[in-house]
Structure 1
Amino acid sequence: MRDADPDLFVAVAHACLLGESPFWHPRERALYWCDIPGHRLQRFEPAGGALAHWDFDTDVASCAPQLDGRLLLAMRDGLWRFDPASGERRLAAKPPYDPAKERFNDGKCDPQGRFWVGTIYEPRDAAAATLHCLTREGLKRKAGGVTVANGLAWSPDGATMYWTDTKAHTIYAFDFEPHAGELSRQRVFAQFAPRAEGQPLDDYGGRPDGAAVDTEGCYWVAMFEGQRVLRLSPAGEVLREVLLPVRCATMPCFGGDDLKTLYITTAREKRPAAELAAQALAGCVLGLRVDVPGLPVNVVHV
């Protein structure tokens, strides 16, 4: 086992079951993220160390800030507009799937203010997951043919959208038409070797999960079960590997006033007891200072 990057630090010591979908709220100077199976939304203020949370009765998969100060939550039972101050939740869109077999997963807002969200097909025996976009006209299906939708991000110029099928170990890129939010020219951006039968986890590089893009157009991706985060060039080449002290990174995001702190959510759900005993930080949020700032979070306008 290689040593973790010495510059990593523990940003939030509280452990989630499955931390996901972090974003930095610039106005609040706070980090938000989800604990999907924990049915919880988390908020952390680095300046004072305050940690808050909101509990729900179903999975909370992803979240994004709205223009009006509320949050948009992608949950198993639909898309919801949520006011953290009052706890009020209002349905924005019903789920376009059978919640017994599928749920929303990774979701992010595009530069034009529309919210995009993929699903996960939980039987994992077919590429039946889909990608949807919330517009002023409602929820529209935009793509499909994957099993576990992840990795949503946009290039700095907004002309390229990234989307991942974690189960297929593949990150896709699309040409992105900003006015109507149309996708074209789907191609493989990066692909990784799947884990062979009987292959030790220490020899497995992981599969691509959540991601974020920096101002140079490089794509930072969490490699679930690979114990690392990669920085890929706009051409898909590995420029940097950040080794972690935990097996399962789920998603990075950029935060802090200068957007040079890389926050990394991680998971501990269903991990072997021996692994958890050796990796006490599993489920915590890790941090790393980087030289190139990230892109600010996009805000929901619809």
Structure 2
Amino acid sequence: MSEPIVSVFSDHVCQLGEGPSYDPGTDALFWFDIVNSQLLEKPLAGGALKIHELGQMASAIAIIDDKRQLIATETGLFVRDVATGGMTLHTAIEADNPVTRSNDSRVHPCGALWVGTMGKGEEKGAGSIYWFFKGELRRLFSDITVSNSICFSSDGALAYYTDTSTGLLMRVACDPATGLPVGEPKIFVDHRSAKGYIDGSVLDRDGILWNAVWGGSVIEAYGPDGELVRTVAMPVTQPSCPAFVGRNADRLAVTSAWSGKNEKQRLLDLQGGMTFMLDIPVNGRLEPRVLIA
């Protein structure tokens, strides 16, 4: 097998790059610098990077329609007007809790959104994972320290998530029609003895889960049985989240971060915070649109 090609997609350095999502309508990648309250946008085919100042921490984006996006922020879900950048609160989430912010989120094939929260200082058990569908919000899992790795099988029958602090990647059966869990979560991958921490993930059409290993300098791919099937070396120590990109969803974009590093550590990780493109064969899929009403 030939070596995968890893290239810099954007050399803009994010303190905490996260939440990449591809928009096939504009052929652009969106992602966030969470702690600096910025939404970033860049066309895959080249062109200038756009930086949108949001005024609050935000971590995830989903497409509602050609004119609107849904943004997960530290106070809730906001509808963003693509043309003007205007943000309107749709559903508050922990808006009265200054300790927490949004983190990892993803859209289920039915149009429901799972959105995670966490403490801004990674306070133990401060976060939760919520289900949002057509205006309804429910808490699915509580006592979460760092919500991450939310992704779904293409038929909507399985969901994956982690509390990064546990080192355990969980899998739970879902109702394909609603995206709600059915049954109890079970351990899919036990990462406690491995290097690094489970961060963001995506699941391809073959049931392969691609995970960014924070502190591990790799992307790891796990088969449907939870066995490690591939490791892709990254030029940064803290890759944070992958996303399928391209109109055929056949490549991976990966965000990264320098957050938590001192000056000496940053000098040893000069590309930390940049966003990368992985030209490796993946049978990815485009993100579903989120249903807000």
Q: TM-score, length-normalised on structure 1?
A: 0.91
For the residue of structure 1 that corresponds to 2:264, the secondary structure is helix
**Where does 1:117-266 land on structure 2 (aligned, <5 Å)?**
117-122=115-120, 124-183=122-181, 184-193=183-192, 205-266=195-256
For the residue of structure 2 that corresponds to 1:257, the secondary structure is coil
Match of 2:111 in 1: 113
Retained in 2: the 8 A contact 1:216–1:292?
no
For the residue of structure 2 that corresponds to 1:276, the secondary structure is helix
**Where does 1:27-42 land on structure 2 (aligned, <5 Å)?**
27-42=25-40
Between 1:19-28 and 1:266-275, the stretch displaced more is 266-275
Cα 1:46–1:68, aligned 2, differ >3 Å: closer, same or farther? closer
Following superposition, the deviation at residue 148 of structure 1 comes to 0.8
Match of 2:77 in 1: 79
For the residue of structure 2 that corresponds to 1:177, the secondary structure is coil
Aligned partners of 2:23, 2:84: CA distance in 1, in Å?
Answer: 18
Retained in 2: the 8 A contact 1:62–1:74?
yes
Q: Which amino acid in 2 is paired with 1:256?
A: G
**Where does 1:1-40 land on structure 2 (aligned, <5 Å)?**
7-40=5-38
State, as a whole percentage, how many aligned pairs show the same letter.
29
1:43 corresponds to 2:29: no
1:267 corresponds to 2:253: no
Following superposition, the deviation at residue 143 of structure 1 comes to 1.8
Following superposition, the deviation at residue 109 of structure 1 comes to 1.1
- Structure 2: gaps spanning 5 or more residues: none
Structural RMSD (CA): 1.7
Retained in 1: the 8 A contact 2:67–2:83?
no
Following superposition, the deviation at residue 125 of structure 1 comes to 4.9
Retained in 2: the 8 A contact 1:210–1:250?
yes
Aligned partners of 2:199, 2:10: CA distance in 1, in Å?
Answer: 20
Following superposition, the deviation at residue 123 of structure 1 comes to 5.1
1:293 corresponds to 2:283: yes
Retained in 1: the 8 A contact 2:243–2:253?
yes
Between 1:216-225 and 1:42-51, the stretch displaced more is 42-51
Q: Which amino acid in 2 is paired with 1:229?
A: I
Aligned partners of 2:5, 2:72: CA distance in 1, in Å?
Answer: 33
Retained in 1: the 8 A contact 2:4–2:279?
no
Retained in 1: the 8 A contact 2:251–2:281?
no
For the residue of structure 1 that corresponds to 2:184, the secondary structure is strand
Aligned partners of 1:123, 1:23: CA distance in 2, in Å?
Answer: 25
For the residue of structure 2 that corresponds to 1:215, the secondary structure is coil
Between 1:37-46 and 1:61-70, the stretch displaced more is 61-70
Match of 1:277 in 2: 267
- Count the aligned residue pairs: 289
Following superposition, the deviation at residue 230 of structure 1 comes to 0.2
For the residue of structure 2 that corresponds to 1:87, the secondary structure is coil
Q: Which amino acid in 2 is paired with 1:191?
A: D
Residues 38-72 of structure 1, C-alpha deviations (whole Å, 9 max, x = no match): 10001111213221121022101111111253111
Indicate which of 53, 67, 70 corresponds to 2:68.
70
Cα 1:78–1:32, aligned 2, differ >3 Å: closer, same or farther? same
Following superposition, the deviation at residue 281 of structure 1 comes to 1.0
Aligned partners of 2:281, 2:122: CA distance in 1, in Å?
Answer: 38
Aligned partners of 1:288, 1:48: CA distance in 2, in Å?
Answer: 16
